[in-house]
């Protein structure tokens, strides 16, 4: 298989703006099909993929024998259902995060992946970005000494009640949407899993979490995080060791929120900055997915990793309480 032919289930704005163009720009990949019940949305994709085949149903796309892989940007509560259907139809699957809303739901996906022999993964693009690959290497090399504490922050302002992130029935909420990043990024860089979540304060509006403050304990370090859909845009991850500080600016929306950088502060008040301009982690994600499909090379974000992030999410909700 030289070129992986992709289809997209659903004409979401995110797929139009980011993942559709990324699939089309990636090496050895082609955006070949779109499934949407609204034909008026197709021209936005055809503007950069003029040969795009448009299906009027998700089932029609999954039945298309020319499609090798599907990208699923549907509302959160539909991710498990359509991932399973896509695997049953013989398609590789890249599904938006959160792939599930409970950790144990991953068990069905892992079983389906293993039984079909296909690749299925959550679209956790940051693990493909050189900023995070470099941060992981620096921590493992002991650049800041022994890691003792991590702070992670991700916030944006969204009060649009028509947006699925503000709809509980669609699996909305700040934690499912962006808590995945504040939790998963630290797990990726450190290779550690949380032991406990002794504190979580969660504010809800209409059954959707809009603010969360979290404290967790990992084997070798403490952790604090803030996630919100009701605050001004901010994102940062800080790794604090006994011999230095490693700070990631713009760790989650690289080249959109700001430029991705790593700041390293060590003894003697020395500080150096490493910058990663012009990197598109969505394109890198598609290329890594294709490489894994073609030659079986290890994928940086297997379902088992994503299950661990959702398990931490479940711990936070247990500590902070679900809405009444």
Say if 266 falls within a structural domain. yes
Report yes or no on 293 lying in a domain: no
Same domain, 104 and 133: no
Given 97, 122, 147, the domain boundary residue is: 122
- Are 86 and 133 in a shared domain? no
- Pair 184, 146: CB distance under 8 Å: no
Residue 216 burial (C-beta neighbours within 10 Å; 0-12, 13-18, 19+): buried
CATH number of the domain enclosing 15: 3.40.50.720
Q: From first to last of the 324 residues of the chain, give the pLDDT tens digit.
A: 589 999 999 999 999 999 999 999 999 999 999 999 998 999 999 999 999 999 999 999 999 999 999 999 999 999 999 999 999 999 999 999 999 999 999 999 999 999 999 999 999 999 999 999 999 999 999 999 999 999 999 999 999 999 999 999 999 999 999 999 999 999 999 999 999 999 999 999 999 999 999 999 999 999 999 999 999 999 999 999 999 999 999 999 997 878 999 999 998 778 999 999 999 999 999 999 999 999 999 999 999 999 999 999 999 999 999 887
Where residue 275 sits, what CATH number does that domain have?
Answer: 3.30.360.10
Whether 92 and 208 share a structural domain = no
298 lies in some domain = no
Cβ contact 216:312 at 8 Å: yes
Q: Is residue 295 a part of any domain in this protein?
A: no
Same domain, 223 and 313: yes
Report phi then psi at 76, rounded to 5: -55, -40
Sheet holding 261-266, edge to edge: 196-205, 208-217, 222-228, 147-157, 230-241, 244-249, 261-266, 270-275
Main-chain dihedrals φ then ψ at residue 219, nearest 5 degrees: -55, -40
- Classify residue 304: in a domain, yes or no: no
* Residues 314, 262 within the same domain: yes
Whether residue 222 sits in one domain with residue 161: yes
Are 221 and 72 part of one and the same domain? Answer: no
Q: Are residues 146 and 272 in the same domain?
A: yes
pLDDT confidence of residue 1: 59
Is 70 within the bounds of a domain?
yes
From 92, 122, 152, the end of a domain falls on 122
Residues 26 and 105 in one domain: yes
Domain stop point among 102, 122, 142: 122
Q: How many domains does the chain have?
A: 2
Residue 240 lies in a domain: yes
Same domain, yes or no: 131 and 276: yes
Structural domain that includes position 177: 126-282+309-320
Q: Residues 161, 202: contact at Cβ < 8 Å? A: no
Cα 148 to Cα 47, 132, 223, 242: the distances in Å are 49, 19, 9, 7
For residues 111 and 168, membership in a common domain is answered with no
In three-state form (DSSP H/G/I as H, E/B as E, the rest C), the secondary structure along the chain is CCCEEEEEECCCHHHHHHHHHHHHHCCCEEEEEEECCCHHHHHHHHCCCCCCEEECCHHHHHCCCCCCEEEECCCHHHHHHHHHHHHHCCCEEEECCCCCCCHHHHHHHHHHHHHHCCCEEECCHHHHCHHHHHHHHHHHCCCCCCEEEEEEEEEEECCCCCCHHHCHHHCCCHHHHHHHHHHHHHHHHHCCCCCEEEEEEEEEECCEEEEEEEEEECCCCEEEEEEECEEEEEEEEEEEECCEEEEEECCCCECCCECCEEEEEEHHHEEEEEECCCCCHHHHHHHHHHHHHHHCCCCCCCHHHHHHHHHHHHHHHHHHCCCC
Q: Examine residue 112 and state whether it is found in any structural domain, yes or no.
A: yes
CB–CB of 215/223 below 8 Å? yes
Examine the domain organization and report whether 113 and 164 are in the same domain.
Answer: no
């Amino acid at each position: 298989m030289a070129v992986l032919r992709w289809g997209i289930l659903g004409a979401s704005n995110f797929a139009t703006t980011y993942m559709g163009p990324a699939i089309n720009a990636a090496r050895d990949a082609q955006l070949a099909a779109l499934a949407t019940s609204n034909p008026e949305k197709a021209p936005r994709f055809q503007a950069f993929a003029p040969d795009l085949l448009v299906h009027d149903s998700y089932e029609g796309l999954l039945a298309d024998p020319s499609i090798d892989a599907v990208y699923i940007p549907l509302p959160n509560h539909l991710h498990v259902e359509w991932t399973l259907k896509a695997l049953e139809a013989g398609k590789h699957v890249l599904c938006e995060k959160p792939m599930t809303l409970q950790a144990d739901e991953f068990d069905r996906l892992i079983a389906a992946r293993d039984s079909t022999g296909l690749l299925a993964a959550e679209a956790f693009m940051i693990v493909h970005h050189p900023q995070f690959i470099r941060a992981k290497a620096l921590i493992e090399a002991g650049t800041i000494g022994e890691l003792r504490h991590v702070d992670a922050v991700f916030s944006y302002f969204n009060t649009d009640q028509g947006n699925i992130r503000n709809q509980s029935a669609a699996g909305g909420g700040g934690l499912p949407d962006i808590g995945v990043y504040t939790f998963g990024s630290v797990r990726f860089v450190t290779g550690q899993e949380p032991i406990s979540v002794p504190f979580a304060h969660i504010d809800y509006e209409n059954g959707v979490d809009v603010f969360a403050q979290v404290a967790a304990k990992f084997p070798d370090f403490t952790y604090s995080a803030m996630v919100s859909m009701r605050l001004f845009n901010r994102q940062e991850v800080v790794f604090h060791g006994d011999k230095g500080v490693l700070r990631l600016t713009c760790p989650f929306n690289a080249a959109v929120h700001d430029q991705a950088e790593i700041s390293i502060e060590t003894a003697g008040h020395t500080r150096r900055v490493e910058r990663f301009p012009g990197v598109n982690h969505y394109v890198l994600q598609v290329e890594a997915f294709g490489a894994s499909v073609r030659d079986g090379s290890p994928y940086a974000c297997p379902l088992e990793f994503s299950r661990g992030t959702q398990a931490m999410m479940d711990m936070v909700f247990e500590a902070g309480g679900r809405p009444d």
